Amino acid sequence: MIPDHASAFSLHDCSVSPDILAHKATQLRIHSIQATTEAGSGHPTSCCSAADIVAVLFFGVMRYNPKHPKQPGSDRFVLSKGHAAPLLYAAWAEAGLFPTSDLQQLRRLSSDLEGHPTPRLEFVDVATGSLGQGLSAGVGIALNAKRLEKNPYRTYVLLGDGESVEGSVWEAAELGRYYQLDNLCAIVDVNRFGQSDPTLLAHDLEAYRARWEGFGWHALVVDGHDHDALLHAFQEAAAHRGVPTVLLAKTLKGKGIPHAEDQANWHGKPIPAEQAQQVVDMLEKTLPIPTPVISISQPQIVMEATPSVRPCSAPTYTMGESVATREAFGVALAELGAANPFVMGLDADVKNSTFTEKFAKQFPDRFVQNFIAEQNMVGVASGLAACGKIPFAATFACFLTRAYDFIRMAAISQSNVKLMGSHAGVSIGEDGPSQMGLEDIAMMSAFPGVTVLYPSDAVSAYRLVEAAANQPGLVYIRTSRPKTPVLYGNEESFPLGGSKVLRQSPHDRLTIVAAGVTLIEALNAYEQLQTLGIAVRVIDLYSIVPIDQQTLVDAAQATDHRFLTVEDHYAHGGLGDAVLNALSDEPVRLQKLAVREIPHSGKSAELLDRYGINARAIVEAVKHMIR
């Protein structure tokens, strides 16, 4: 009989029969072959190499409720090699979560059994398929159990050997060792084949062992098709203390498919129908008759309520004082953390610049220092979000480009992750173009469902941190390095999808739309234009996505459809393009002031002038547009 997965929270004694596990592994192979053949696409050989590993995990090791995958206390499983999705689906179907007949809907538009897993499925924590990301999420999930919830559940991450070349895997491995995540177990399916060639190390298991041990992990080499050996290896992993464990499982790609087993050029190819039936017939002959009865006991269901975000205390800034929005972010994050114990702070070795150090000092157990590993930081944040936390991950805006694929997968996962990018634009000054985030708005705005915010003063920054926590899904907050004057009173509200009309009159001839440091320049330009007798409207577009379309349309109709957008960002994909898109049904004349070349080092004021986004440039552009 299978151990009581759902209610037993002590180590397994490996008493489960390897014959039972062999039966389940064969069933998983059959399901994977049949589903991919029916779909006409997929990765059956990648599924078959790992079928024994997954069978042992799901039916001999892991503790979970097969009807409620995310019940508190259940072990967690992340399929980093996401192309083996049919194997994952087959395991949950065999566990009883849904009928095995549903597996034949693989990759259909009408089914959530997609080609690679996404959290549309209740048993999937994070989307995978872009390789090298699963272990980072696993680190976040394991951190949640060990440091926050003090919960004994274990986290298992199945990786492919090909993805082990990705640097992000080793970023995650380093962090797992640093935080002593002995509740984390990685399994590498070493089947020696990638997509187009043999993998870098093929079946050199000792080389794999040396690498993982070099990163401080407890490394076990095991036959990935030996169920008894796998059971005992998982038992040793659970008993080992102080560091995470990795099982280096030697397998054969396409195991159980005679013509494809350990053969090249079968990656991502379904088995033709006639051959598939022959293979299934052969595998079915190995199944015992009658089929063994598998019993998984059902514990009492205790589901956690989703916590609501409690408001922060009001900010305490003085109108006109100079405060950097990045500093206001840090203050707000600490206040948010004080009111909400599920809020997390993450940084990548720049906490004294992003001001997450304020949160770290107050809540060290809820702060995750990721060191200089931005992509892993986003992956860890996704893992924490999958556990019901609200993680705020911060670094320089330019360094988030390194994490772009992780951000992309977080967006696909619809992860409740909040990102803050500081030091945006040429206004950072002397550090030069490598440190200037000038593409971040375009980058973040490209994803459907992602909220993009750009506060211009301390009060709006403070309030938008709280708004971000209340907004489901991925949110990006762009902050600036220079100190800027406080424009708003402490009681001002900043609803998402809103904007602020800061200057207006019945005689306005043009609308200036800006945010961040360029809003301050726009307000200075407004004063100069007033002396020239030129009336203009000034809008603070603090919410870029979603955008306040109605206010922009109203401004268009009130100012002869003339717009000037000003942004400390490259011209493509930024604030100006967002405004253009919102006004696509209006006959507007719009000019964009933006950075149009790779910038140079210099003082902030010099750079704003050189690249034509300061008050002087705004005045000249307005005069040109209305003449």
Place of tokens 């900010």: 315
- Supply the Cα-derived Rg of the chain in whole angstroms: 28
Give the architecture (CATH level 2) of 18-284. 3-Layer(aba) Sandwich (3.40)
Question: How many CB atoms sit inside 10 A of residue 450's CB?
Answer: 20
d(CA 457, CA 334): 18
Task: Give CA angle at 211 (205, 216), nearest 5°.
Answer: 125
Assess whether the region 322-485 and the region 500-626 belong to the same CATH fold.
Answer: yes
Instruction: Give backbone dihedrals phi and psi of 6, rounded to 5 degrees, phi first.
Output: -85, -25
Q: Does residue 163 have an active-site annotation?
A: no
Residue 15, pLDDT score: 60
**Burial grade of 505 (CB within 10 A; 0-12, 13-18, 19 or more):** exposed
Which residue is catalytic, options 166, 327, 335, 374?
A: 374
Residue 414, pLDDT score: 96
Beta-carbon contacts of 600 under 8 Å, excluding residues fewer than 6 positions away, are 432, 433, 607, 610
**Counting every residue, how long is the chain?**
627
Question: How many CB atoms sit inside 10 A of residue 529's CB?
Answer: 24
Domain 500-626 fold is Rossmann fold (3.40.50)
Among the listed residues 572, 563, 565, 627, the one whose alpha carbon sits nearest the alpha carbon of residue 596: 572
Instruction: Give backbone dihedrals phi and psi of 258, rounded to 5 degrees, phi first.
Output: -50, -45
d(CA 495, CA 344): 23
d(CA 351, CA 44): 45
DSSP state of 565: E
* SS3 of residue 613 by DSSP: coil
Torsion region of 58: left, alpha or beta (phi above 0 gives left; psi -120 to 50 gives alpha): alpha
Among the listed residues 284, 276, 273, the one whose alpha carbon sits nearest the alpha carbon of residue 254: 276
Give the architecture (CATH level 2) of 322-485. 3-Layer(aba) Sandwich (3.40)
Among the listed residues 485, 461, 474, the one whose alpha carbon sits nearest the alpha carbon of residue 406: 474
Residue 19, pLDDT score: 85
Contact 279, 260 (CB under 8 A): no
Whether the model clears a pTM of 0.85, i.e. scores above it, the answer is yes
Contact 92, 70 (CB under 8 A): no
Among the listed residues 615, 554, 561, 616, the one whose alpha carbon sits nearest the alpha carbon of residue 591: 561
d(CA 438, CA 384): 29
Contact 430, 389 (CB under 8 A): no
End-to-end CA distance of the chain: 86
Peptide bond into 433 cis (omega under 30): no
Contact 86, 18 (CB under 8 A): no
Residue 10, pLDDT score: 35
d(CA 594, CA 613): 6
**Would you state the structure tokens that stand for residue 45, as one six-digit string?**
């050989």
Among the listed residues 27, 52, 47, the one whose alpha carbon sits nearest the alpha carbon of residue 227: 52
Q: For the chain, what are the domain ranges? A: 18-284, 322-485, 500-626
Residue 627, pLDDT score: 86
**Would you state the structure tokens that stand for residue 519, as one six-digit string?**
């809003």
Instruction: Give backbone dihedrals phi and psi of 186, rounded to 5 degrees, phi first.
Output: -95, 150
d(CA 295, CA 393): 42
**Would you state the structure tokens that stand for residue 209, as one six-digit string?**
């062992």
DSSP state of 312: P
Element (DSSP H or E) covering residue 188: strand 184-190
Please report the DSSP string for 165-183 in residue order.
Answer: GSHHHHHHHHHHHHTT-TT
d(CA 97, CA 70): 12
Contact 385, 417 (CB under 8 A): yes
Peptide bond into 599 cis (omega under 30): no
| C-alpha 69 chain-centroid distance | 21
Helix 227-239 crosses helix 18-39 at what angle (to 10 degrees)? 100
Task: Kindly give the parts of the chain with pLDDT less than 50.
Answer: 1-14, 295-305
d(CA 197, CA 317): 60
DSSP state of 198: B
Contact 252, 261 (CB under 8 A): yes
Long-range contacts of 581-585 (CB under 8 A, 24+ apart): 581/547, 582/547, 582/549, 582/552, 582/553, 583/549, 583/552, 583/553, 583/556
Residue 276, pLDDT score: 96
**Among the residues of 164-272, which ranges form H helices?**
167-178, 205-214, 227-239
Among the listed residues 418, 435, 440, the one whose alpha carbon sits nearest the alpha carbon of residue 353: 435
Task: Give CA angle at 82 (222, 260), nearest 5°.
Answer: 65
Element (DSSP H or E) covering residue 499: none
Instruction: Give backbone dihedrals phi and psi of 542, rounded to 5 degrees, phi first.
Output: -70, -25
CA distances from 81 to 88, 131, 331 (A): 10, 6, 39
Contact 444, 476 (CB under 8 A): yes
Helix 44-56 crosses helix 85-95 at what angle (to 10 degrees)? 40
